[in-house]
Structure formats: structure tokens, C-alpha cells
Amino acid sequence: MKNLLRITCLLVIVLSSITANAFVLRVGLKDGAAEITVSATSYFDLIDMHTNQVILTTYGWRNYRIEAENGGLSVEGVGTFHGPIILVPMSNAFGKVDNQTYRGKLEISRTNGNRILVVNVIDIEQYLYGVLKCEMSDNFPIEALKAQAIIARTFALSNLKKHQDKGYHLCPGVCCQVYKGVSAESKLTAMAVDQSCSFVLSYENNLARTYYYSCCGGKTAPFIWKEDGKTPYLQSKNCPFCKHPRNSSYSWTQRISFYEIQKAFSTGEITSVSIKEYDESGRAKTILICHSGENSIINANKFRTVMGYTRVKSTLFTLHNDGQGVVFNGTGYGHGVGLCQWGARGMAEAGYDFKEILGFYYPGVCLQRIVF
């Protein structure tokens, strides 16, 4: 069985669609702040990029408040500058914004609404140091963490245009990938990033869509979003690896009252809720809400979004009505497309390496090293 799980191909090539400067990411840490404070863990420079002049060189023990005013950026006790202003830490130091610590440089600019935008300009590998522990627990085995590092790197590079209209590539929230800078780093996750350095997943020489989530509940989901590009590697398949004694989300129960559903979807008085249609993985595809008005058919993923991801943890559920509400009995946590993180843990604990984990959840993809 183990040999069948091996990844289809391992190539070491240049991805022609990605240039060297794409590996310096711009992460929008704050967008629309009224004011910020900056400092560093040691000496740092503040440079006005408009004039390329160093406006301050100091030690990082003091915080400097920066506000957008008078058509520029006011640095407390220093002056007002056109900007953008960039904070450059000295060697082995980290910059701080509002007491959060980051690698790389911090670029501060004034937006059209006279607010402040802070962008972390950072190498992608250092960015991943601050992502990995936020997306996968650092008590997971190293092979699972390496698999996560590769798909997180691939995800970042394939979403460089997500916020380009705002002046940065990625945000630090769940919209992109959760990023918390130096405070989220650990030795094991840094090791996973370093040992998988520059590896990505591709399909037909394009970056693969490396979706992931916590737990599939025993069966992954087919690709559910309407996007361009071929994704034959994102198909429903049985996953025997995520049923783990420490996985509290493998099975779950949640009750939601008819009244709450009625308010959320603006229906008449509800008499019953049922699953109208299933997808090929056995997940609910559409929900039928019978009520005093015209009956409503709701996409199950929309239903989950509206009622809350932490309450309806997945769409892999059965349900029954208890007279005044609906009781959901489900398995798994997340959308189910791509890599199951608890499954990756189970595979790693069973002796599979990161290539075999990736090959299982993304069959037909290639593991490529980007050279720049």
C-alpha cells in the first residue's frame, strides 16, 4: 500500500511564471489604522523613501508614535515626512509595530483616506516562519509540518495578486494565511520550513491549488469553488488517517434552533430542515428549509458560513429535527478540499514522509524546487 501513495513525480526545475522578486512578499499588517507605534528589538533606521534620507537612527527601547497628518506622516518627536517611511532593523534585530515583532522591513505609508498602511516586506521563507505554527500545531510530527510548509509556500505564491489593488500581496488573516510574525515561531516549525526550503507543488507546470483544512472526517471533498484552471488532483477520496484519539473535531454535535435559522435567512416560521442534495463525498450540498412562506433551498456551504464555521464544523453531517430546532451530527472540521491536517499527522505517525503525504492528498501533482 505504501508505494501506491508516493507522489507522482519529483522535479527540480525553474517555474518560468515566477520571477526572483516574487519571493519578497508584501504582507499588509495594518490597513486603515489611525496611528501606530514602532520600535525594534535593537538599533534601527527610519528612512523617508520619498527623499531616501535616514530620518532617525536609534535603539529600539523607545516607541515612536506615527500618525497621518498634514498630507504626510508625523513621527513623534522627529518631524513630518512625505513618506512612505521604512523601518530597517540592524543585523539580528526585528522591527515592531504596536508591540508585535516581525522579521524583514516595515513600510509605513499614508492612504488616500488619511489613514496608515503598514506592510511587512519580507522574504517568503521568513514569512513562513510566522505562518506555520498558526496553521498547524507544532506538536505535529516533522513530516506533517514539512508537508504543510510546502503547501503554505505554494498557496502564498499562487495568491500574490489577491490584494494587489491595496499595495500588498497577502493579508495576515484567514483570508490568506494566518501570519503573526516572530511571536508565532518555534524551533520545530522553523526546521520544517528550512528542510522544505523553496519546494512547491505544481500541476502542468503551474502552481497547484493547495487548499487545506483541519480534518476531513474520513473522506475528502471534491473541488467546490468556481475558478479557472484544472484541478483533477482535488477529488473526493477516503482518508483513514484522521481518526485520532486527540482529534476532538473528528465527530461533533450541534443544535441550532428554528428561530435562529429563521432570523439568519429571513424566512417565515420554520417547520422543518432537511438535506435536499448530497455531493459525491457524502457531504450536504443543499439544505431545504420548509417554512410558512415559500420553501428555501440554501447551499450547504453558505449555510455553514452564515451559522458559523465553529458551530457547523463541516458539511459532512446528518441532521434531525427535534420540534423546535435541528440537531446536526457531523464529522470533520473544514471544507474538506485538499490536505487534511489531522490526516497528515496520522500518516506521519504511521511512518509516511512528506512526499507521500502530499502524494496522497494531491495525487498527480509534481514537487518542484524553485530556483532563483
Predicted local confidence at residue 20, as pLDDT: 40
Residues 320 and 197 in one domain: no
| 113 SS3 class | coil
Q: Domain of residue 71: give its range.
A: 35-114
3 vs 293 pLDDT, higher one: 293
Q: Please state, in angstroms and as integers, the Cα–Cα distance from residue 363 to each residue in 6, 8, 204, 246, 311, following that order.
A: 9, 7, 13, 27, 31
pLDDT at 76: 93
What is the amino acid identity at position 242?
Answer: C
pLDDT at 8 over 60: no
Could you give the CA distance from residue 327 to residue 190 in angstroms, rounded to a whole number?
42
State the pairing for strand pair 64-69/35-40. Answer: antiparallel
Average pLDDT of the residues in 214-220: 97
Whether 361 is covered by a domain: the verdict is: yes
pLDDT of residue 60: 81
Give the span between the Cα atoms of 282 and 210, in whole angstroms. 22
Q: Confirm whether 265 is domain-assigned.
A: yes
User: Does residue 240 belong to any structural domain of this protein?
Assistant: no
Reported confidence tier of residue 113, pLDDT bands at 50, 70, 90:
confident
Inform me whether the pLDDT recorded for 258 exceeds 90.
yes
Q: Residue 304: inside a domain, yes or no? A: yes
Phi, psi of 360 (to 5 degrees): -70, -45
pLDDT digits (tens, 9 = 90+) for 33-56: 999 999 999 999 999 999 999 999
Instruction: Kindly report the pTM of this predicted structure.
Output: 0.91
Give CA 216 to chain center in angstroms. Answer: 17
Count of domains observed in the chain: 3
- Helix ranges (H only) for 130-219 are 132-135, 142-158, 187-195
* pLDDT at residue 126, as a whole number: 96
Mean pLDDT for the chain overall: 91
Residue 91 included in any domain: yes
pLDDT of residue 19: 42
Residues 245-268 have a mean pLDDT of: 96
Encode burial over 341-350: b for 16+ CB neighbours within 10 A, e otherwise.
Answer: bbbbbbbbee
The answer to the question of residue 105 being in a domain is: yes
Which string of DSSP letters, residue by residue, matches 323-348?
A: SSEEEEEEE-BS---SEEHHHHHHHH
Residues 345, 140 contacting (CB under 8 angstroms): yes
